[in-house]
Amino acid sequence: MPTNKHKVLVANRGEIAMRIIQACVSLGLDFVCVHTKADAASGHLALAREIGGPDCAYRVSSYHDANEILAVADHSGATAIHPGYGFFAEDFRFARRVAERTRGLVFIGPSWRIIRSLGDKINTKRLARSLSIPTVPGSDRPVYDEMEAEEIAETLFAFQAEQGIANSVVLVKASAGGGGMGIEEIYDIEQFKTVYRRIRNYAKRQFHDEGVLIEQRIFDFNHLEVQIVADRSGKNIVHFGTRNCTIQSTGRQKRVEVAPGFRPQEVAYAFDAAKVLDDIVGYSLAMAREVAYDNVGTWEWIVSPTGQPFLMEVNTRIQVENGVSAAISRIRGQGGVNLIAEQIRMGLGDPMGYDQSDIAFEGVGVEYRVIAEDPANRFTPWVGRIDQFLAPTLPWARLHTHIPMDAPYEIPTEYDPNLALAIIWGKDLAEAKKRGVGYLDELTLSGADGAGQELKSNVRFLRDKTATILQF
């Protein structure tokens, strides 16, 4: 089917749904969206109705209900589904169902086999090691033998000693666990047997699998990403640079993203930062080629204080922070790169139409995640009413938000209280930081909760952290 004959179901909410709708419009594609009762006032619903009329939006009980999503697709005549991020974006079972049902649809993301393969962190680690790509030291499979597990732990303590780490830590984890369950830290090899046996018994009791993983605990690292884009052939694969996502909440949730990942022209590092960037890009591309990656994806890395990179995981979806990579990217000298539009276009079968030599980078981009939360209280979400939200309109700034700016808005309790993404561009780091601080200072954000208490947000936290951007 020709690309422009497709109709895309936007299976998400908020700002990412709005960006997908806008990308569809830019490509001349029809679209349909979904919304829940809680999202009746969301900007994505208003935008969809403004562009496509009242019949382009369908109410569902949940964004997590696959049957409802597919029923809307069939009723509306959609031929493709864009999952955005979160919800079904990295669910290979959903992607497989979309593609292989009797009325097959296009899943706009990597093919389900790739999602399944790279979504398995143990498999990803094993694949990386087969390509001599550095990963976090430790086991790449569940370990069931106590003596083998102890030997791995001993090598990790020795490795940390070589790195000059004074207070070594090794993680002992239930391989079948998740969400922080079944994990303990050990600080001395003498502790190992006791902790190993405890975790093994816990894993057997909770998950019916005694497998245990042993990994190095890495502190004081920088969190970097490589943005990969590929077409359906799995042969045309490029990168759109690196990002630094080190500024996070106490719960390791990203709050500030910067492109590129390091800026050695303006910041002094204790290692060859340019080489590190080249290395992680090269490793990411090698792995993408090995699996014939066929859409957008992000290779996530941690970099130690000595400049050693370790692959952490692969996110087989569009990232929240894709816009900050786009802000510094140029294709054949032209700005205005839209990675979501590129994802859709290639996901529907268009060839890439350019190669790495056509892509260049200019300046520095900073993305702020504006969130209703209390940074002083462990970033506790704030729930209430937004009375006023105003942001400056500037040529070097973009704001993505589903919050209406002409009416009060009640933050739904069902979802994260994300309010907006502000993307700032500067010709260099100094200018981007100056512009970022100025932009945040001009934001107007006010409201109150049910008890009349003033709105809490992370704007001050973002402003204060701007000074430390790209510093190690």
Q: Tell me whether residue 132 is in a domain.
A: no
Q: pTM here?
A: 0.93
Span 48-76, pLDDT tens digits: 999 999 999 999 999 999 999 999 999 99
80-82/7-10 β-pairing: parallel
Query: 345 and 211: one domain?
Result: no
**Is the pLDDT at 196 greater than 90, yes or no?**
yes
Tell me the C-alpha distance between 373 and 455, whole Å.
9
CATH number of the domain within which 25 lies:
3.40.50.20
Rounded Cα–Cα distance for residues 338 and 344 (Å): 10
Lowest mean pLDDT among 95-109, 164-178, 306-320, 454-468: 164-178
| Start-end of H helices in 364-428 | none
How many Cβ atoms from other residues are within 10 Å of residue 445's Cβ? 19
Looking at the DSSP bridge assignments, the partners of residue 303 are 222, 309
Tokens 């890395």 identify what position?
Answer: 301
- On whether both 160 and 56 belong to a single domain, the answer is no
pLDDT at residue 291 tops 90: yes
Q: How far apart are CA 287 and CA 129, in angstroms?
A: 10
Q: How many whole angstroms separate alpha carbon 161 and alpha carbon 149?
A: 19
Confidence (pLDDT) at 120: 86
Domain count, the chain: 3
Quote the domain boundaries for residue 46: 3-108
Q: What are phi and psi of 470, to 5 degrees?
A: 65, 5
What percent of the chain is modeled with pLDDT above 70? Answer: 99
Instruction: Name, in order, each residue with C-beta under 8 angstroms of 166's C-beta and a sequence gap of 6 or more.
Output: none
| Residue 471: CA count within 13 A, CB half-sphere | 7
Residue 129 among the catalytic residues: no
Dihedrals φ, ψ of 373, to 5°? -160, 170
Say if residue 419's pLDDT is above 70.
Answer: yes
Residue 306 lies in a domain: yes
Q: How would you classify the pairing of strands 364-371 and 254-259?
A: antiparallel
pLDDT of 165 reads 79
The answer as to whether 116 is a domain residue is no
**Cβ density class 414-436: b for 16+ within 10 Å, e for less:** ebebbbbbbbbbbeebeebbebb
Are residue 318 and residue 356 in the same domain, yes or no? yes
Do residues 213 and 135 lie in contact, with contact meaning Cβ atoms separated by under 8 Å? Answer: no
* Whole-number pLDDT of residue 176: 74
The catalytic residue among 255, 317, 345, 369 is 317
Task: Identify whether the C-beta of residue 387 lies closer than 8 Å to the C-beta of residue 410.
Answer: no
What CATH number is given to the structural domain containing 365?
Answer: 3.30.470.20
The predicted model gives 390-406 an average pLDDT of: 96
In sequence order, the 6+-apart residues with CB closer than 8 A to the CB of 120 are none
Q: Is there a domain that residue 122 lies in?
A: no
Q: Is the pLDDT of residue 179 over 60?
A: no
Cis peptide before 260 (omega within 30 of 0): yes
Of the candidates 245, 266, 396, 223, which has an alpha carbon nearest to the alpha carbon of residue 320? 245
- Quote the CA–CA distance of 370 and 452 in Å, as a whole number: 21
Q: Are 321 and 270 found together in one domain?
A: yes
Q: Same structural domain for residues 232 and 190?
A: no
Q: Assess if residue 117 is contained within a domain.
A: no
Amino acid at 197: R
125: in domain: no
128 located within any domain? no
Task: Determine, yes or no, domain membership for 459.
Answer: yes
Q: At 105, is the secondary structure helix, strand, or coil?
A: coil
